[in-house]
């Protein structure tokens, strides 16, 4: 957890786009380094892709989707999602941490990157990727 808490060795990213990988018929969320040209594609599920797209386009729904509900719970407890950190890549699977602050308490929770991104967009929280993950799974954006 100390690696996640320290902001050394991480890069802030933003959701650049969501694509469909035609070869496997799966959505891909593409994260782009805020102050650089590196990108990180992460293959995600259909429901998470829709949730991320709704948040990006600020599309509301009549009733809260799961990630909207999570935001309401966070707000209801008076907590703040301080940041999301995509911190590991093992066996072609990405790992992330949700870092919450509640008063003086910091809580780090394991989560899937796709869920973490969907929640971060709704809470307007920054998203970071570790340098290690960017080196292993990232690429350079085409100019």
- CATH assignment of 2-140, among 3.40.190.10, 3.40.50.970, 3.40.50.300, 3.10.690.10: 3.10.690.10
Burial 45-72 (b: 16+ CB within 10 A, else e): eeebbebbbbbeeeeeeeeebebbebbe
Q: What is the pLDDT of residue 4?
A: 42
- pTM of the complete model: 0.89
Residue-wise pLDDT for 82-136, tens only, equals 999 999 999 999 999 999 998 889 999 999 999 999 999 999 999 999 999 999 9
* 8 A C-beta contact, residue 66 and residue 112: no
């Amino acid at each position: 957890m100390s690696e996640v808490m320290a902001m050394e060795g991480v890069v802030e990213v933003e959701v650049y786009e969501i694509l469909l990988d035609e070869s496997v018929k799966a959505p891909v969320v593409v994260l782009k380094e805020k102050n650089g040209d590196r990108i990180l594609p992460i293959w995600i599920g259909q429901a998470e892709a829709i949730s991320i797209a709704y948040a990006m386009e600020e599309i509301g729904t009549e009733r809260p989707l799961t990630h909207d509900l999570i935001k309401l719970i966070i707000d209801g407890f008076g907590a703040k999602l301080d940041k999301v950190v995509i911190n590991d890549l093992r066996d072609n699977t990405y790992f992330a941490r949700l870092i919450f602050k509640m008063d003086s308490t910091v809580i780090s929770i394991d989560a899937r990157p796709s869920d973490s991104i969907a929640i971060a967009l709704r809470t307007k929280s920054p998203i970071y990727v570790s340098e290690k993950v960017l080196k292993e799974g990232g690429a350079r954006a085409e100019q």
